[in-house]
Amino acid sequence: MDIKLVVFSLLGGLALFIYGMILLSEGLQMAAGEKMKNLLEKLTNSKIKGAIVGLLVTCIIQSSSATTVTLVGLINAHLISLAQAVPVIMGANIGTTITAQLVAFRLDEWALPMVAVGFVMFFTAKSEKIKYFGQVLMGFGILFVGLKFMASEVKQLAKDPDIVLFLAKMGRTPILAVLTSMIFTEIIQSSSATTGLIIAMGMSGLIDLQTAICFILGANIGTTITVCIAAFGPTGSTYAAKRTALAHVLFNVIGNLCFLPFIGYYAEFISRTSSDIARQIANSHTFFNVTMTCILLPLSGYLIKLVTFIIKGEDITIETGVKFLDKNTLKTPAIALNMAINETERMANIALSMLESSRKAFFEGSKTDISLVKEKEKLVDDLDNKIENFIMQINDNALSAHQKNQLSSLNHVISDIERIADHANNITEEAETSINRKLKFSDSALEEISTVFNKAEASVSQVIYLIKNSSDDVIKSVLGLEKDIDGLIMTYENNHLERLEKGSCCPEAGPVYLDVLRNLERISDHAHNIAYAKRFGF
C-alpha cells in the first residue's frame, strides 16, 4: 500500500466534503436572505426562545460558524446583547449536529444524481430561489461524494498495523484524542468536516465508538476557532463580542470536562441508541450538545458573569434609532417640524463626533475610534432615511412661509450631514491604511493635517448651532472657514510636492496625506452648503 497516495486521496475526499459543505451552507444562506439576520435581531430576553432561534437558524444554514459570526456582527452593531447571544450559541451547537445526522443516512448512491440535478437547476433556472436550491442539492451531493472517497481511503489505512495501533493507543488516552481532533478542526475550521471524517473512520472500522466520541468532543472545542477569529481579530470588536466568543469556548470545554470522566459509560449508552456505527457517532454528537444546553442554559447568567470577570472592560454604547421623531406629532405639523429639526441636530452632533474620532484614529492609531466611526456611520445612514421619510409625511399646508422654507431645506441639510459623516468615515479608512502599512508622516505634514482638522471641526460645530439658531456672524464664519480651507489645501499640496522633491517625506504616505486633506475639504464644502441654506431662510 502506498501510504502517501492513500493520505492524499483521503485529503482529496476531505476537500470535496468541505467544498460540498460550503456550497450547501452558502446556498441555504442565500435562500434565507436577510431572514436569518432579522430572526436573530428579533430575539427576546427568553433563554429558551433564544436557544430555539439558534437551533433553527443553524439548521437552516447548516453552519454554526455562520450563526456565531453573525452574532458577533450583531453585537458589534449593538443590535443584541451578550445575554441574548449566549442562549443562541447553545442552540446553534445543537443545530450543527444535524449535519452529522444527515451524513449518517449514507446516501452515497444518490450523491452523483444529486450533483447532476443540482447542476442543471443552478445553471439553467431563471428563478433565484431555484438556483439556490440547485446549489444546495449540488453541495449536498458533493458532500456525500467526498464522504465516499474518505470511507474508501480510510479502509486502506485500516490495513496498516502501525496506524491501527496508534489509533488504539489514542482511544485508551481520551484527552489525546480530544486534543488531536480539536487542533485538526481548528486548522480546517469546520467541525462538520471533522465529523464526516470521524464517521468515515468509524464505518471503516478504523476506530471504535469510544475513540470516535473523543474525536467528536475535540471537534466541538475546535469549531469555536472561527468565532474567536471574528471576535478577537484585528477588527476592533466590542468587549461583548469577545465575551460571546469566550462563552462559546467555555460551553464546549465545560462539556468535555463533564463527559470525559465517564466516557466509557457514555459510549456504552450511545451504543444502545442504534446498531449502526455512523448513527451512533451522530447521536453522540447530538446528545452531548442537547445535554450541555439543558444543563447550562438555566445557568447562562453565571456563565455571563464568568466571561465578564475574565474579559474586563466596558463598551462604548451608541444610542441607536430615532430619539425625537414621533408619528403622533404629525397631526400637528409645526411640532413635527421642530421634532425633525431636533433629530437633525442630533444627527449632526453624531457626525461631528465621528470627525473627532477620525482625528484620534489618524493621529493616535486608536482602533476603538475606528470601530466607533464605522458603527456611527451606520447610525447616521439610518437617521438620514428615517428623518427624510418623516419629513415627507409632514403636511406643509398648515405651516407658515418660514416653516415651509425650513421644511423644503431640511432634506438638503440632512443630505449634507450624511455626506460629512461619510467623509469622516473615509478619513478613518485612511487611518486604518496608515496603521496597517505602518506609514510615517513628516512633522510638517502632520501639522498641516492638524490645522485643517481644526478648521473643519470648527466649521461643523458652527453649522450645528445654525440648525436651530440664526446668526449672520456664524454664517460668515462658516463661509470664511471654507475659503480658508480651500486656500490651505492648495498651499499644502504644493508643500507636499516640494517635500517629495527634497526627499523629506515618505512617498508611500503621500496618497493617504492627500486623501485626508481632500476629505476634510469636502466636509467644509458640506458645512458651507448648510450655512448657505441658512442665509436664505432655513
> Which range among 81-95, 234-248, 484-498, 510-524 shows the weakest confidence by mean pLDDT?
234-248
Q: Are residues 111 and 172 in the same domain?
A: yes
Q: Are residues 508 and 380 in the same domain?
A: yes
> Pick from 310, 343, 368: which residue ends a domain?
310
Return the closest-CA partner of residue 524 out of 477, 491, 492: 477
> Pick from 310, 338, 359: which residue ends a domain?
310
Q: Are residues 115 and 246 in the same domain?
A: yes
Q: Are residues 440 and 503 in the same domain?
A: yes
Q: By residue range, what is the domain housing residue 184?
A: 3-310
**DSSP 8-state class, residue 393:** T
Q: Are residues 245 and 370 in the same domain?
A: no
- Confidence bin at 347 (pLDDT 50/70/90): very high
Q: Are residues 435 and 474 in the same domain?
A: yes
Q: Are residues 217 and 111 in the same domain?
A: yes
CATH assignment of the domain containing 440: 1.20.58.220
> Per the domain annotation, does 282 fall within a domain?
yes
SS3 at position 524: helix
> Per the domain annotation, does 511 fall within a domain?
yes
What is the total count of domains within the chain?
2
How far, CA to CA in Å, does 403 sit from each of 334, 398, 400?
8, 9, 5
Return the closest-CA partner of residue 140 out of 104, 181, 110: 110
Residue 205: CB partners within 8 Å, gap ≥ 6?
Answer: 155, 158
CA distance 232 to 238: 9
pLDDT per position as a tens digit, 434-463:
998 888 899 999 999 999 999 999 999 999
Q: Are residues 448 and 340 in the same domain?
A: yes
> Which pLDDT belongs to residue 474?
92
pLDDT per position as a tens digit, 104-152:
776 667 778 888 998 999 888 888 878 888 887 888 788 778 767 776 7
> Which pLDDT belongs to residue 234?
55
> Pick from 279, 310, 341: which residue ends a domain?
310
Q: Are residues 89 and 155 in the same domain?
A: yes
Q: Are residues 306 and 331 in the same domain?
A: no
pTM of the model: 0.61
Cell numbers at residue 187, please? 486548522
- Confidence bin at 164 (pLDDT 50/70/90): low
Q: Are residues 50 and 146 in the same domain?
A: yes
pLDDT at 235 over 70: no
Residue 538: CB partners within 8 Å, gap ≥ 6?
Answer: 405, 406, 409, 410, 413, 530
> Which range among 299-308, 330-339, 400-409 shows the weakest confidence by mean pLDDT?
400-409
> Per the domain annotation, does 474 fall within a domain?
yes
pLDDT at 22 over 80: no
Return the closest-CA partner of residue 200 out of 162, 154, 161: 154
- Cell numbers 469546520 correspond to what residue? 190
> Per the domain annotation, does 355 fall within a domain?
yes
> Per the domain annotation, does 316 fall within a domain?
no
Mean pLDDT on 356-385: 90
Q: Are residues 112 and 36 in the same domain?
A: yes
Greatest CA span in the chain, whole angstroms?
Answer: 93
Mean pLDDT on 166-172: 71
pLDDT at 273 over 80: yes
> Per the domain annotation, does 319 fall within a domain?
no
> Which pLDDT belongs to residue 346?
94
Mean pLDDT on 232-259: 84
Asked whether the beta carbons of 215 and 207 are under 8 A apart, the reply is yes
Helix spans in 96-173 (H): 97-103, 108-124, 128-157, 161-172
Cell numbers at residue 306, please? 464568568
- Confidence bin at 375 (pLDDT 50/70/90): confident
- Confidence bin at 505 (pLDDT 50/70/90): confident
Helix spans in 262-332 (H): 263-271, 277-296, 300-310
> Per the domain annotation, does 396 fall within a domain?
yes
pLDDT at 171 over 70: no
Question: What is the end-to-end Cα distance of the chain in Å, rounded?
Answer: 85
SS3 at position 173: coil
> Per the domain annotation, does 10 fall within a domain?
yes
> Which pLDDT belongs to residue 79?
66
SS3 at position 312: coil
